Amino acid sequence: MGKAVQWLLCTYLVLKLIQYFLAARPGFGTDEPTFREKLLRGEPILFIVACAISIPTALWSTWYFQRGYQRGLEHSADCYGQLRAVSHLRDVETEFDALDVFRAARVARREASLAAQSLELTPAEANRLMADKLRFYTGRYSTVTRQGDRREIRAQAGAIERCVRDFWF
């Protein structure tokens, strides 16, 4: 609600300045206009236009940023789990630099914490989500290694490489 009011006031101010500089008649800024003159100048219409522009914009931006933070939290927590559980994925043909994996995991954890903070989640909830992802990928990688499925191991290694690339510092 506060964001909608902020957008409304800013939009109204911009439209008012445009009206003042582009549509002003002589004496526009010197005399206080009567109510009838205000109506003729379009004050209510200007306010309605400002509402029509600003309120949908504020609502859309609120939804858009909220969804972006949710996607960021999910991606960061997922990559954190993949990167921290990489030691459980054996028989990988790809060599991973341990320092790069560690740094990427640290960045993923920080990004997940920032996204959780932006979503007004507690740090405990963010930590629980990352711990759940870590448990999931530890179990998955152990299972894939036991099964010896080379194709699945390569697919998991590719996902880990993408995470390292995504969270390159």
Using a cut of 0.75, tell me whether the model's pTM lies above it.
no
Q: How confident is the model at residue 42 (pLDDT cuts 50, 70, 90)?
A: low
pLDDT tens-digit series, residues 68-120: 889 999 999 999 999 999 988 887 877 888 899 999 999 999 999 999 998 88
Token digits of residue 138: 């530890």
The amino acid that residue 164 corresponds to is V
Residue 133's pLDDT is 95
Q: Mean pLDDT across the stretch 23-30?
A: 58
For a pLDDT cut of 70, what percent of the chain falls above it? Answer: 80
Return phi, psi of residue 2, to 5°.
-65, -35
Extended strands (E) in the chain? none
Q: Alpha helix locations (H) across the chain?
A: 2-22, 35-41, 43-84, 98-118, 123-147, 150-166
Please count the other Cβ atoms lying within 10 Å of the Cβ belonging to residue 49.
14
Q: Which residue has the higher pLDDT, 163 or 60?
A: 163
